[in-house]
């Protein structure tokens, strides 16, 4: 892992908290700050740039909002439509318009799944016990 050096101005209260955390954990302050930042920021290396903004916004949510995002589901009407289109696809009965709609819904489901996975990861980094994701 490569490292970058930055100069960071911290408010006195954050500095004192970091210094105290370093003291009680017997870790260098630099390590305490690195770990704190890592817990807050989502990994964005593995996502398309168009999704990075939405995923980065997750890190700014409070815990309650983040739990809500982690448990998000497709709206019922979209889920029913997706199920119906998948059945029709399996039976070989999709029209070109339905195939396009199915792809759009699958894309939306994929974005939702990535979004939820990042929310779960952030919750785990914040110290919450999260259920295993399948």
Give the mean model confidence (pLDDT) for residues 86-110.
Answer: 94
- Count Cβ neighbours within 10 Å for each residue of 104-113 and write b for 16 or more, e otherwise: ebeeeeebee
Q: Which tens digits make up the pLDDT trace of 15-72? A: 999 999 999 999 999 999 998 887 777 677 777 787 888 888 898 899 999 999 999 9
pLDDT on residue 133: 58
Counting residues of the chain whose pLDDT is more than 70, the rounded percentage is: 96
Enter the DSSP assignment of 132: P
pLDDT, mean over the chain: 89
- What band does 3 get if pLDDT is binned at 50, 70 and 90? confident
- Which DSSP symbol is given to 86? H
The Cα–Cα gap between 96 and 41 comes to 41
Domain boundaries defined on the chain: 8-40, 46-134
Instruction: Categorize the per-residue pLDDT at 126 as very low, low, confident or very high, splitting at 50, 70 and 90.
Output: confident
The predicted model gives 73-82 an average pLDDT of 96
41 DSSP 8-state letter: S
Nearest residue to 57 (alpha-carbon basis) of 122, 113, 10: 122
Cβ pair 36, 17 in contact under 8 A: no
Q: Confidence class of residue 130 from pLDDT cuts 50, 70 and 90?
A: confident
């Amino acid at each position: 892992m490569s490292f970058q050096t930055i100069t960071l101005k911290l408010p006195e209260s954050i500095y004192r908290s970091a210094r105290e955390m370093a003291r009680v954990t017997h870790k260098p302050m630099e390590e305490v700050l690195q770990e704190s930042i890592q817990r807050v920021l989502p990994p964005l290396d593995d996502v398309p740039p168009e999704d990075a903004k939405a995923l980065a916004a997750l890190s700014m949510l409070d815990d309650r909002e983040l739990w809500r995002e982690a448990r998000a589901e497709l709206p019922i009407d979209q889920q029913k439509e997706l199920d119906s289109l998948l059945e029709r696809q399996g039976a070989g009965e999709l029209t070109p318009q339905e195939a396009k709609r199915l792809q759009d819904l699958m894309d939306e489901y994929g974005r939702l799944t990535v979004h939820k996975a990042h929310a779960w990861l952030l919750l785990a980094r914040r110290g919450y016990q999260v259920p295993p994701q399948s």
